[in-house]
Structure 1
């Protein structure tokens, strides 16, 4: 644990655990459904494996999570933090709107999108969404999301399946859409977002994904 605040206040005691770097983001990932070490790493790509192991051990000792045969599971105490993490996300979306270029990450964006697929809205069978980020250079420019059998996989190399629909966008604009800063329709109108594919797929594609609760947070005028 980090240095204590040495105050009896419950806020101080809670923050002795929760304000360690990455701790709240680990909880965010677990609340979003990541329960394996490698999945947590994919949601926290800039966190070293050694530090992730250390933080998981701290959370286990503190009673917020437990290791259940290789799966990291929230305890009752961990689950009780759910509304707090969500409230922080809503507050951050509402009052800390600026995102810098260093905050943009296609891998993290696609990882978040893949776990919020509404499988009831996706056509039966396999659907492949190809993403092309027009402002990204090199291999990170192209990504694929393969949706089938109520599962979704993120691929950074062509999976070899026929593409159902292609989304072309700047990384910033698609990130802003995903965060709820602008709408899908706004992105189409300003030309930063283009969708290629059958008309019925282009029309229904936004409904294939459920946005995070913070995406609907009202922004200050």
Structure 2
């Protein structure tokens, strides 16, 4: 499966809309976890795998390749790190994380 990128068909959409490519990428198994773990700074492959607990090396390699192709992650001397674009994405998701906590609370209260 190809890396979802704006302008290309993605899972669930043939329109090539950037938001659909982003949702396809972020919805892939382990992608969000890898991005989350990289928020705290660079990590070697082994440290990142340990932080994710349970991701296979082959799946992690595939996801890191997709994240590098998407310009969200890069591999530097000290390990894998979020690019400025990846860091901006994670900060942009903060309000959505807040909303999801509110949603969970409402669901816990029974609506």
TM-score (norm 2): 0.71
2:39 maps to 31
2:100 maps to 92
1:20 maps to 28
Q: Give how far 1:35 is off.
A: 1.8
Residues 142-181 of structure 1 show CA distances to partners (whole Å, capped at 9, x for unaligned) of xxxxxxxxxxxxxxxxxxxxxxxxxxxxxxxxxxxxxxxx
> Which consecutive unaligned segments of at least 5 residues does structure 2 have?
none
1:54 maps to 62
Q: CA RMSD in A?
A: 2.5
2:52 maps to 44
Higher Rg: 1
* Contact 2:49/2:57, CA 8 A, preserved across alignment: yes
SS, match of residue 14 in structure 2: coil
> Which consecutive unaligned segments of at least 5 residues does structure 1 have?
98-218
Residues 66-108 of structure 1 show CA distances to partners (whole Å, capped at 9, x for unaligned) of 11125112112111112233233323322235xxxxxxxxxxx
Runs in 1 of length 4+ with deviation above 6 angstroms?
none
Aligned residues: 99
Q: Which has the higher contact order (CA 8 A, sep 6+)?
A: 2
Q: Give how far 1:16 is off.
A: 2.9
- The separation in 1 between residues aligned to 2:68 and 2:87, in whole angstroms, is 13
SS, match of residue 72 in structure 1: strand
- The separation in 2 between residues aligned to 1:86 and 1:58, in whole angstroms, is 22
TM-score (norm 1): 0.39
SS, match of residue 66 in structure 1: strand
The structure where strand makes up a greater share of residues is 1
Q: How does 1:1-221 map to 2 (within 5 A)?
A: 1=3, 4=10, 5-69=13-77, 71-96=79-104
